[in-house]
Amino acid sequence: MNPGYSNEASPGQPGGPTGFQHVVVNVPAEPQKDYLVWSLCTFVYANFCCLGLGALIYSVRARDRKVVGDQNGAKRDASCARVFNIVATVLTSLTLFIVIVVQIAAVVKLAQYTSQRGRWGGY
């Protein structure tokens, strides 16, 4: 030990000249989501133009990459699965909404038509 350097710990001091010891704690990052449950629901209930299938494939790939330890690949595949899920859910919801609105409009139009022609269609 060189007496000219004050940064070195002396044998009598446990942590160095200040008496503090430094401890490094590695906190594991939050695990990457793979959106597998959402992809399964999208595949079964909202498979608009096979986007649910694409979401399911990317979710399984993200889970596989996460198991192997490829965090960047898992993040990329999970992001693709998330986008496919969002697009499929929005398009399916929009289509369902349009179908319901068209059916309601048809029922209202039919009710107006039958009320104008009479109960038995004008006979």
Q: Which amino acid would we find at residue 120? A: W
Residue 48 per-residue DSSP state? G
Of 80, 99, 98, 76, nearest to 88 by C-alpha is: 80
Range of the structural domain that residue 79 is part of: 31-90
Question: Is residue 85 domain-resident?
Answer: yes
Is the model's pLDDT at 121 over the cut of 80? no
The 10s digit of each residue's pLDDT in 52-109 is 999 999 999 999 999 998 999 999 999 999 999 999 999 999 999 999 999 999 999 9
Count of structural domains, the chain: 1
Confidence at residue 28, expressed as pLDDT on a 0 to 100 scale: 64
Question: Is residue 83 domain-resident?
Answer: yes
Residue 95 Cα to chain centre, angstroms: 22
The 10s digit of each residue's pLDDT in 14-49 is 555 666 777 877 666 677 788 999 999 999 998 989
Alpha helices in 1-123 (DSSP H): 36-45, 51-68, 71-117
pTM above 0.95, yes or no: no
